[in-house]
Amino acid sequence: MKACTLGTIREFKTKNFTVRVTAEEDWDTDLSWDEDGSVRKGLESGEFIAFQVSATVYYRGREVGADYLGGCIYKSIEEFMDHKECGKQNREYAAKGDPGRCGSYFSGMVHEAIKQARKELTANRPYIRQGGI
C-alpha cells in the first residue's frame, strides 16, 4: 500500500540534486510501550500526530538515495526537524564541558540518504565527483 503524504518537512535543491524530507501516513503505529494510554489519547484527540518519514535524494529527477523511519509521534510534523535545537543543546553541553549529546533523527536521515545517493552515483557513474552532494 502506497503511503499518503501528509506534508513536506523540508526540501532543498541544487542544480542537479533535490533532497526532500516528507511525512507520510503510518499504517502500523506501535503503541505497545504506551503503558498509561496517554499517547493513544493524544493521538485520538489530535494533540499528537503519528507518521513515518522519508528522506529522499533525487539526481536530475531520479531517486538515487533514501532513508525511512516509521513510528514517529510528535505534536506536528514540523517538530520532527529538530536539528537546530539539538545543535544549540550540544553547544551548551560543550561550553559546560559536559560529554552529553543530543541526536537528531532529521539530520541523521538526511545524511544517510545522501550517503546512499553518493554510493549509487559513484557505483554507476565513477566520473561523478565525490563531494558533489
pLDDT band at 1 (very low <50, low <70, confident <90, very high): very low
In SS3 terms, 18-65 reads as EEEEEEEECCCCCCCCCCCCHHHHHHHHCCCEEEEEEEEEEECCEEEE
Q: Is the pLDDT of residue 52 over 50?
A: yes
Is 128's pLDDT higher than 60?
no
Give the C-alpha separation, 122 to 70, whole Å.
29
pLDDT-derived band at 102 (thresholds 50, 70, 90) equals: low
Residues 115, 90, 22, 14, Cα dihedral to 10°:
-50
Instruction: Name the residue with cell 546512499.
Output: 116
**Residue for grid cell 541526536:** 103
Q: What is the pLDDT of residues 58-95, one digit of tens each?
A: 998 899 999 999 999 999 888 887 666 766 776 787 78
pLDDT at position 124 = 67
